[in-house]
Structure 1
Amino acid sequence: MLPAPSETSARPAILYSCYYTQSRSGEQFVAEHALSFQLAGTLTTYDGNTEHVFRPGDLRLVKRNHLVKFTKQPPENGEFKSLSVTLDQETLRRFSLEHGYHTEKPHDSGLAVLELPMNPLYQSYLASLQPYEHLSEPGNESLLALKLQEAILLLLKSNPELKEVLFDFSEPGKLDLEAFMTRNFHFNVQLRRFAYLTGRSLATFKRDFEKIFHLSPSRWLLQRRLQEAYYLIKEKGKAPSEAYLEVGFEDLSHFSFAFKKMYGVAPSRI
């Protein structure tokens, strides 16, 4: 299960990601903006609304405070590779103060992942990072800070509209709870995370939820996930071993038990 806001672990500011021979699927809460280059293999992302497929040479900005499902598929007889540059809030605030950048309007595209067109500036920046695979190790702080500033300047030069994304330091506002949960029920996250992303305290989230759905969040999530799993298995021909992960269950045996309790038959018999 994904960590609550206070439990998110730190990750290197510049991270090479490699996976060997087999594909890997999962989901994550994106705590900080990340500029990511696809080097080898294919990455498929889904944010509850939109699916993106990234191939070698593609570039993306993954926005903070979003939930994203992903599948990393290595090439035939090869390995999956990507490189991500994390632009944390502290770095962006310092840059904003130093260079006078401020948002003029809230950014609300709704997309968690933005596809960016590759250009010679980005390609040169990527090439400059390759000798620094271990740049995040102790002793390289000054050099790392320069590479992060360079990434921000490149984004602003190549995609000026991203100013409204990068320098929006506001926390999630109060969202339409029914629409948000209907779109994101299949993400396997704690209730505290759902509450945070909808701009509510946990107590307010639970109270608002029961007013709308007339069920506790835990009960509604269980029923909604099982309904979606039934549809995937019966109508889409998915195997239970695929469906349970897609709808947010951690464990196949728990999924099978809950499914049989709700529908009176094991998912393998649908």
Structure 2
Amino acid sequence: MEHISKYLTPEIKLSCYEDKFFKSEIVFDHHMLIWFISGETKIVQAEATHHFKTGDIFLIPRNKPATIINYPKDGLPHKTVVMLLTTHILRGFYSSIVEKAKPVPHPTIRTFHNHPLLESCLASLIPYFDLTEPIPEKLALLKITEAISILRVIDPAIDGMLANFDDPHKVELVGFMEKNYMFNMPTEKFGYLTGRSLTTFKRDFKKAFNTTPQRWLTQKRLELAHYELSEKKRKPIDVCYETGFENLSHFSFAFKKHFGYPPTDLLEQKAGRQPHTQKDGSPQMNQLKI
């Protein structure tokens, strides 16, 4: 995979993916403002799936699990300008603002399409990526401050998200896991996002589900994958990346081990072909373990 990132500062970069697609599952530590130059992105979150294309501008909130799939489009690479709105910078920005906004308890992706003010701000960064000398730190901060100021003008409710510096509070475990199990995160990250230490998370999880996190996560992801394949007639390659598996090989192996037949058997059934059979002649489709 050909991936090139040019950094003006740790908070501002030009990101380019040349390959067929790139997939990652991540929880951002900082809010991320993104402007699309070319390509497409699918962002899967618990609440919704978002699609973005050339010209779109959007803000991803911190501490929200997401599966991100980047695609080239129309012969052009997936290319974006990315600006991190870090907690340190936002604290400095809001320190002089007397009126405090009410925190947004469940922040979601904010979309601004091709808003002219934001696009002008982010496009003005492009020439700096070709400079051989580093951009002055004060100038970079001015650009980030400009972006924050524009966001506040076009979205008055944005303060409730940007000015909230709290760590995740302890949340109801079962509800959170049922909404976010498809994101392939370390157990430590699940613990942090539910407001628990790793030890407390494992203890509470055992009490709630009577099994280990990894076993429960694997089964839930496979059940979701089976539903997507059998009921929505989707392709294994698409289902694989949206149900928490690292690659198609790992997904196919886990699926066959759990259900007794590979995910391609569901495609054969859809096409009217007979599924593979066991040695005794019975179809593997009868091996469903859900």
TM-score (norm 2): 0.80
Name the SS for the 2:124 alignment partner. helix
1:143-195 Cα deviation digits (max 9, x unpaired): 21221111122212222211111110000111221121111111111100001
Separation of aligned partners in 2, 1:163 and 1:101: 12
Separation of aligned partners in 2, 1:12 and 1:95: 18
| 1:216 aligned onto 2:212 | yes
CA contact (8 A) 1:177 1:198 kept: yes
Which aligned pairs between 1:32-43 and structure 2 lie closer than 5 A? 32-43=30-41
Larger radius of gyration: 2
Distance change in 2, residues 1:195/1:119 (3 Å): same
Tell me the residue number matched to 1:245: 241
Which aligned pairs between 1:1-270 and structure 2 lie closer than 5 A? 12-20=10-18, 22-97=20-95, 99-100=96-97, 103-111=100-108, 113-116=109-112, 118-133=114-129, 138=134, 140-270=136-266
Q: Which amino acid aligns with 2:16?
A: C
CA contact (8 A) 1:45 1:69 kept: yes
Give ranges in structure 2 of 5+ residues lacking alignment: 1-8, 267-290
CA shift for structure 1 position 19:
2.1
CA shift for structure 1 position 37:
1.1
Separation of aligned partners in 1, 2:132 and 2:94: 23
Q: Which amino acid aligns with 1:266?
A: P
CA shift for structure 1 position 265:
2.5
Separation of aligned partners in 1, 2:63 and 2:213: 21
RMSD: 2.4
Greater mean alpha carbon deviation, residues 163-172 or residues 253-262 = 253-262
Separation of aligned partners in 1, 2:48 and 2:147: 26
Q: Which amino acid aligns with 1:48?
A: A
* Identity score, percent: 38
Q: Which amino acid aligns with 1:195?
A: G
CA shift for structure 1 position 63:
0.6
CA shift for structure 1 position 227:
1.3
Name the SS for the 2:65 alignment partner. strand
Separation of aligned partners in 1, 2:221 and 2:137: 45
Separation of aligned partners in 2, 1:62 and 1:255: 28
Separation of aligned partners in 1, 2:50 and 2:241: 19
CA shift for structure 1 position 226:
1.6
CA contact (8 A) 2:170 2:196 kept: yes
TM-score (norm 1): 0.85
CA shift for structure 1 position 136:
11
CA contact (8 A) 1:136 1:144 kept: no
CA contact (8 A) 2:107 2:161 kept: no
CA shift for structure 1 position 100:
2.2
Name the SS for the 1:30 alignment partner. coil
Tell me the residue number matched to 1:7: none
CA contact (8 A) 2:56 2:113 kept: yes
Distance change in 2, residues 1:215/1:134 (3 Å): farther
Give ranges in structure 1 of 5+ residues lacking alignment: 1-10
Separation of aligned partners in 2, 1:23 and 1:157: 35
